[in-house]
Amino acid sequence: LAFGDDFEAFVRAWRAHVFAVFERISFHDDFESGNLNSWQFPYPEDWAILSEKRAQQGSENGAQGVNHYLHMKRNREPGVPRRPLQFALLKKAKVGSFDFQARVRREGKSMIVVFNYVDTLHFYYAHLSADRGQQEAVHNGIFIVNGEPRKRIAGIDAPPALPDREWRRVRVASNARAGTIQVFMDDAHEPLFSAVDDTFTCGQVGIGSFDETGDFDDVVLISDDAGCQPGATLRPAKHGN
């Protein structure tokens, strides 16, 4: 019995898919190297590595060291349909389930973390704001861009994620198989935002702002579910919590 070239091609594609989805990524960027080779930017001229003084850990005499961080110098107009476009994406890091962390500091009112990015019209983002969602319907929560203006899927009742202009730590945990998305701030054990939505189960992760500027540092991405193919299935969104 001969199966032919088509069957052999199918087997090769299936094997490539099976082995790809179990790749592991453990990425960290504190921007101390001075290069941005791991990142892709819509407008590279809008981003720069800056430095500031920072208290040294473990120092008993208040000694200060120099900390480098990623600064977004300029905001850009959102796209049409209404959605953010000004964010930096990690190169070669297409993940399904993942755990992402970063320190963020806003200059205006808000910052964003983009994830499961398929293309400019298909992705999720966590909007971290000084406002409550009840005050500004498109602020402070988890949103989906699915070929139309962004829609909220979580966080309408949550307190502000970024109540001040100090450094804050954000963590996004996604389980692609269960469809769960959780966003934590600082050392909280309970998520500030949570949703169940499996519209996008694979994609890139990034950092930026909807239409403002700010800073990022100590970016960490861990995934045992890397190497997936973004956009393999695009299904209608379903609302979360």
pLDDT for res 86: 96
Round to whole Å and give the CA distance between 143 and 72: 21
pLDDT for res 7: 62
Amino acid at residue number 88: A
Question: Model's pTM, two decimal places?
Answer: 0.85
Length of the chain: 241
User: For the segment 129-140, what is each residue's pLDDT rounded down to a tens digit?
Assistant: 999 999 889 999
Q: What is the pLDDT along the chain (241 residues), one digit of tens a residue?
A: 444 556 666 555 544 444 444 689 999 999 999 999 999 999 999 999 999 987 666 556 666 789 999 999 999 999 999 999 999 999 989 999 999 999 999 999 999 999 999 999 999 999 999 999 998 899 999 999 999 999 999 999 999 999 999 999 999 999 999 999 999 999 999 999 999 999 999 999 999 999 999 999 999 999 999 989 876 554 444 444 4
Structural domain boundaries in the chain = 24-45+74-226
What are the strands, taking DSSP E only, across 22-164?
Answer: 23-29, 39-40, 47-55, 64-72, 87-90, 98-106, 110-119, 122-129, 141-146, 151-154
pLDDT for res 227: 86
Please report where in the chains the tokens 């005499």 appear, as a residue. 61
Q: Which residues contact 18 (CB under 8 A, 6 or more apart)?
A: none
Q: Are 141 and 158 in contact (CB under 8 A)?
A: yes
pLDDT for res 61: 60
In angstroms, what is the C-alpha Rg of the chain? 19
pLDDT for res 14: 47
Nearest to 111 by CA among 132, 96, 126, 131: 126
Which tokens belong to 43?
A: 């407008």
CATH for 24-45+74-226, options being 1.10.10.10, 3.40.50.2000, 2.30.30.240, 2.60.120.560:
2.60.120.560
Which tokens belong to 232?
A: 């393999």
HSE value, Cβ hemisphere, 13 Å, CA-based, for 79: 18
Round to whole Å and give the CA distance between 198 and 221: 20
Helices (H), the chain: 4-20
pLDDT for res 128: 98
Cβ atoms within 10 Å of 211's Cβ, excluding its own: 15
